[in-house]
Amino acid sequence: MEYYGSSIGKLIEALSSLPGIGKKSAQRLAFHIVAMPEEQVKGIADALVDARTNVHFCRSCCTLTDGELCPICASSKRNHRQIMVVENSRDLAAYEKTGRYDGVYHVLHGAISPMLGVGPNDIRLKELLLRLQDEQGEAQADEVIIATNSSVEGESTAMYIVKLIKTLELPVKITRIATGVPVGGDIENIDEVTLERALKGRTEM
């Protein structure tokens, strides 16, 4: 039975399709949106369309951005020879909040998970390898910090990355963030102090 009319019903259904938004939350958001000034609602709608239209992968690190390069890769103040490998852009943001890392990143957009049908070719591993050496085979990085999550998938991905990089036979130091990050924990949900300690306590692989 339709309680509110088709327009509100469609809005609730659309909002509930978003991750982490259940029916009750979607209903609450829908009522809030229809009570907002029309211009404010239009601003939100325009921002959604603009983001969907203009956001793409950074040419260098593969994070999400609306420019050719993200602000981090475009900055001359960052150490471009130190690359931290993370699973997603939310993990990048978590490390940036610590304010203690001045290198650059590489975003995989996932982790290897045979159970979910995600293989090495489904994440941004090829792009990482291309960044590590130029056309002459010279190393373009001094250190690769592997900061995948400490889940089974994250650890498997970390070991696979180590194996790939070592096959290149480049003079690149490979390190893994320390176990200050709890087993099974997602980096995006961990506090800045713990992340900073994990970065400082990284070990060579």
Domains of the chain: 6-54 (1.10.8.420), 64-204 (3.40.1360.10)
Q: Above 60 in pLDDT, residue 183? A: no
pLDDT of residue 151: 83
pLDDT of residue 22: 92
Instruction: Compute CA 137 distance to the chain's CA centroid, rounded to the nearest angstrom.
Output: 28
Residue-averaged pLDDT of the chain: 89
pLDDT of residue 189: 63
Half-sphere exposure for 18 (CA within 13 Å, toward CB): 12
pLDDT of residue 1: 45
